[in-house]
Structure 1
Amino acid sequence: MASAELPAGLPDSSADRHLREEKITSQELLKGHFLHAFRDTVRLPDGREATREYVRHPGAVVIIAQLDDGHVVLERQFRYPVQSVMIEFPAGKLDAGEDPLACAKRELLEETGYTARRWARAGVMHPVISYSTEFIDIWFARDLTAGERQLDAGEFLDVLTAAPDELVQWCRDGHVTDAKTLTGVLWLQNVLSGAWVLDWQDDAS
């Protein structure tokens, strides 16, 4: 998901030919319940060939949900690949054909029990550009109402809240290392300072 418009001073895509790689062949390596891995042979800009191994991902959302007192909603969840309990913003994978805002609403409710009256899309991030197609839509949520969580079978997590300054301190001290959460904190700081403005919309559902 590339940006439609490049900032002033950057060349447009027509000037990128000397950087682009062209796919020659593609081999499926793995099709699991979640991961779909490939090894492609590509032609480099200088004409030589190379291989690229990567994972196709359906995309995901992350939600920066802020309570009336300014605190943000967070989760603590064990992440098996890194064998650690991580502090994260609520997030989740898009179902096939699912609208990102619908996914954000679903994941916030399922994981935290909260619903939100106001939503704003902040942007998009690509967390692992070297080996995955994954993108994560960044959403803000406000005017929250607490309710019952609806966790998936086999899903275990704790919900907590933190003041923005406290969360920034956790990031600085290395207690928060999750990429989507670090990016979300960048957005949160700039939105709270007024440097970045969001287009808020009321939930019509």
Structure 2
Amino acid sequence: MNEHKRVSQQQVFACSIFSVDEEEFSYRDKSFTRYSVRHPGAAVFLPKTENGSLLLVRQFRAPLMSYLLEAPAGTLGIGEVPLDCAKREIQEEVGMRAEQWISLGELYPAPGFCDERQFLFLASELHPSSLPQDEDEDIEVVEYSVTEVERGIADGEIVDGKTVALFSRARFGGLI
């Protein structure tokens, strides 16, 4: 049973991608304040080629001042369905479209401070079809075998949490 009560909530910051709320809670005879990041959610997908390899993106991540190897993903637009977001993003980031999409569920990547929900997909039956990339993205598409992705996770080359989780779901589910 949840005994926590939200006493107050006020937005203290907002930008085009997320906002931050200051919230006061009461729990039994205590009160406390938390700051929560509000995020519209994201679609994350693993494109699988005809030969069974996977298409990942090497992408610059400004907060880390580094490039990460990760599954392609995109933030949901207002009212956008997660699968529609994935279908748009695969064209923007990978230059492909997929005929088959399998939902692999969802996850919360940082529930200690953020309400972002990521919707996971496996995309296959790929065909070339591109849309322009977002202006602020620096992305390179790279093809890896399943074994190379496993090795990349094990040796620390792949450190992006959503990628590790999505790959694990697809692998443990026998889909790759």
Same fold (TM > 0.5) = yes
CA displacement at 1:32 relative to structure 2: 1.6
- Residue 35 of structure 1 and its aligned partner are, at CA, apart by 2.3
Q: What TM-score, normalized to structure 1? A: 0.82
Alignment deviations for residues 147-201 of structure 1 (CA, whole Å, 9 cap, x no partner): 335211222200011011110110111111111001011112113379xxxxxxx
Give, in whole Å, the separation in 1 of the partners of 2:60 and 2:42: 18
Query: 1:25 is matched by which residue type in structure 2?
Result: S
Task: Look up the match of 1:47.
Answer: 29
Distance in 1, matches of 2:155 and 2:137, equals 28
Are 1:191 and 2:176 counterparts? no
Partner Cα separation in structure 2 for residue 131 and residue 43 of structure 1: 17
Gaps of 5+ in 1: 1-15, 195-205
Displacement, 1:82? Answer: 1.4
Pick closer, same or farther for the CA change 1:191–1:140 going to 2, 3 Å. Answer: same
The answer to whether structure 1 residue 37 and structure 2 residue 20 are counterparts is yes
Unaligned runs of 5+ residues in structure 2 are none
Contact 2:60 2:137 in 1 (8 A): no
In the alignment, is the contact (CA less than 8 A) between 1:121 and 1:140 conserved in 2? yes
Q: Percent same amino acid at aligned positions? A: 29
CA distance in 2, matches of 1:193, 1:141: 11
Opposite residue 33 of structure 1, the aligned amino acid is S
Give distance in 2, aligned partners of 1:33 and 1:121. Answer: 27
> Larger relative CO (CA 8 A, sep 6+): 1 or 2?
2
Counterpart for residue 121 of structure 1:
103
Query: Which amino acid in the other structure matches residue 174 of structure 1?
Result: G
Choose 148-157 or 85-94, whichever is displaced more. 148-157
Aligned residues: 176
Higher Cα Rg: structure 1 or 2? 1
Paired residue secondary structure (1:177): coil
- Where in structure 2 are the equivalents of 1:175-190 lying within 5 Å? 175-190=157-172
Aligned to 2:174, the other structure's residue is in SS state helix
CA displacement 1:68-109 (0-9 Å, x = unmatched):
111011000110111210001010000000111111100001
- Aligned-residue RMSD, C-alpha: 1.4
Larger proportion of strand: 2
